[in-house]
Structure formats: structure tokens, C-alpha cells
Amino acid sequence: MEYKRIVVKVGTSTVCHSGGTPNLRRIERLSMVLSDIKNSGADVVLVTSGAIGAGIHKAGWTKRPDSLPAKQAAAAIGQCELMSIYDRFFREYGSITAQILLTKDVLEESNARHNCMATFGELLAMHIIPIVNENDSVATEEIVYGDNDTLSAAVAELIGADLLILLSDIDGLYDADPSECPDARHLDTVTDLNAVRHLAKGSHSSQGTGGMVTKLRAADIAMNAHIPVVIANGRDPDILYDITDGKKIGTLFVPKESV
Ligand code: GLU
């Protein structure tokens, strides 16, 4: 394993079924693989979406609400559901988890940032897997990241990760939307983000808030912090073994100085 500290972000489409119910098989596999990667000696941080999706389902709503208070209520309901599922599965594979909920102001204010960094440091030194989400039930417009892609890049930068993996429902970056254009070409490696920025326009995820635009924004933040990024399909969490073994999977974004 060439990596020492890895941040893995999973989107709602990876951890929830299309109706918002938790995808238990996938969450269990993810918990197993991440525990195994941790056991092999790397520090592992999981950034997970799915709180709002799980909350909507648990509250019995049939569709994603539009109003902020309703979304925040859904997040409050779903976050503890999500954590209890992760906690159960990770424990099964011998790992201890810890919940960290963040908002933008925390990572931008120097004191809070410093404290937060120390908390991550302490948890990782104890071989605990921090599970991070945005604090959706309190976040208002001024303090919100709004998508976990950006949040995961900010976390990777904060803790000095040496790899950020964004798992999604797409195999990486294409030169056209593969759902509309069968000839779309998959890009294995990106070294110049400016040259591919236009490719993200219009792509979106059906369940989460992110899409390729936010993934490229995350790649930008991470690359500026000299952290390589892989965008890959989270359908089968075993893909994390291949990525951390350095195999060519998904799209790898290489920071300039390592080209
Ligand atoms: N934090 C939100 C949730 O847990 C999702 C944000 C995103 O989709 O990136 O539901």
C-alpha cells in the first residue's frame, strides 16, 4: 500500500437505493473494505452522504422536500440512522468509528480548524475511522458546503491526506455524457484541470447534490493541496483495493508537481 492517509467520499447514490433506503449490502462491503485498508496500515476517513435520503425515507416522505427546514429535519432524522448502520457494520469488521459533522465556518475559522485537525489526529492515532458529513441540520446558506465532494476535499486538505477517492455512480470523467452519447471517451488521467472543466457542465446526480461540477471543484481543491484524486464507480466497493494498489481505475487527477 503506497498511501498512508486516505479520504474516501461516497455519495447518496452509492449508499442508498433510489428510494432513499440504505443499501445495506453496499454499506457492509464498504465497511469491510475500509476496515481492511485500515488494517493494512493506512489512516482512513470516510465522508458519507445519505443522511437526507435516509431521513426522507424514515420520515415516510415520498419525495425530497424543497424547504430548508424540512431538509434539515430529514438530515437530523437520517444522520443517526446512517451512523447506526455504519457503526454496526464497521464493528462487525473490528473497526471503531467516530462521527464528525462539519460546516464551512468550522474549517475556515482558525481556532475551530485547529481543534478539528487535532480531533482527527487523535482519532486516527487511535486507529479509529472518522465518518464525516456536513452538519446538514444546522447548516444555513452562509456556512454550508452544500455538497460532500467539496467537503471531502477540504477534509483531505485539513488532515494532510495523500489520496482522495470520490466514489459515485459514474466510472470517472468522460469527454461527453456517457448516458446520452455512447461514443463518449473515458479519461484515465487528468493533469490539467482547466483543460477538462468544460466537460462537467450539465452532469448531475439524481439523488445527491453533487455531480461532475462539484467533483472537479473538489479535485481542484485537492490538487492545489498536492493531493491526487480518483473519481470512480462505487457500485462495488472492492474497487478501493485496486485504487489503493495503484491500478488504473476511474479517472486519476494528478497534482502538477507529481507529473
Ligand atoms: N450531506 C448530504 C446528506 O448527507 C448530502 C450532500 C451531497 O449529496 O453531497 O444527505
Name, in order, each residue with C-beta under 8 angstroms of 90's C-beta and a sequence gap of 6 or more: 31, 34, 35, 96, 97, 129
- pLDDT at site 191: 94
Q: What angle do CA 183, 9, 43 make, to 5 degrees?
A: 130
Rounded Cα distance between 247 and 190, Å, is: 15
At residue 175, what are phi and psi to the nearest 5 degrees? -85, 0
Binned at pLDDT 50, 70 and 90, residue 20 comes out as confident
- Nearest to 43, CA basis, from 166, 220, 168, 163: 163
pLDDT one-digit tens code per residue, 60-108: 998 889 998 999 999 999 999 999 999 999 999 999 999 999 999 999 9
Position in ligand 1 atom list of the atom nearest CA 209: 8
Mutate to test the pocket of ligand 1, among 9, 14, 16, 52 (most ligand atoms within 8 A of CB): 52
**Containing H/E element for 6?**
strand 5-10
pTM attached to this predicted model:
0.94
Instruction: Note down the domain range covering 37.
Output: 5-258
- Mean pLDDT within 16-43: 94
Residue 252 CA to ligand 1 center (angstroms) comes to: 23
pLDDT one-digit tens code per residue, 108-159: 999 999 999 999 999 999 999 999 999 988 877 777 888 899 999 999 999 9
- pLDDT at site 206: 45
**Is residue 175 within 8 Å of residue 126, measured between CB atoms?**
no
pLDDT one-digit tens code per residue, 189-243: 999 999 998 888 655 554 445 588 899 999 999 999 999 999 999 999 999 999 9
- pLDDT at site 146: 81
137 HSE (CA, 13 A, CB side): 12
Residue 172 CA to ligand 1 center (angstroms) comes to: 19
Burial of 181 (0-12, 13-18, 19+ CB in 10 A): exposed
Residue 258 CA to ligand 1 center (angstroms) comes to: 31
Distance of CA 105 to the CA centre of its chain: 19
Domains contained in the chain, number: 1
Name, in order, each residue with C-beta under 8 angstroms of 229's C-beta and a sequence gap of 6 or more: 153, 163, 164, 165, 166, 218, 219, 222, 223, 252, 253
Q: What angle do CA 228, 230, 231 make, to 5 degrees?
A: 145
Count the Cβ atoms, other than its own, within 10 Å of residue 235.
15
Position in ligand 1 atom list of the atom nearest CA 207: 8
Binned at pLDDT 50, 70 and 90, residue 160 comes out as very high
Task: List the CATH number of the domain containing 67.
Answer: 3.40.1160.10
153 HSE (CA, 13 A, CB side): 24
- pLDDT at site 214: 92
Rounded Cα distance between 16 and 208, Å, is: 10
- Per DSSP, the three-state class of 168 is strand
Residue of 8 and 178 predicted with greater confidence:
8
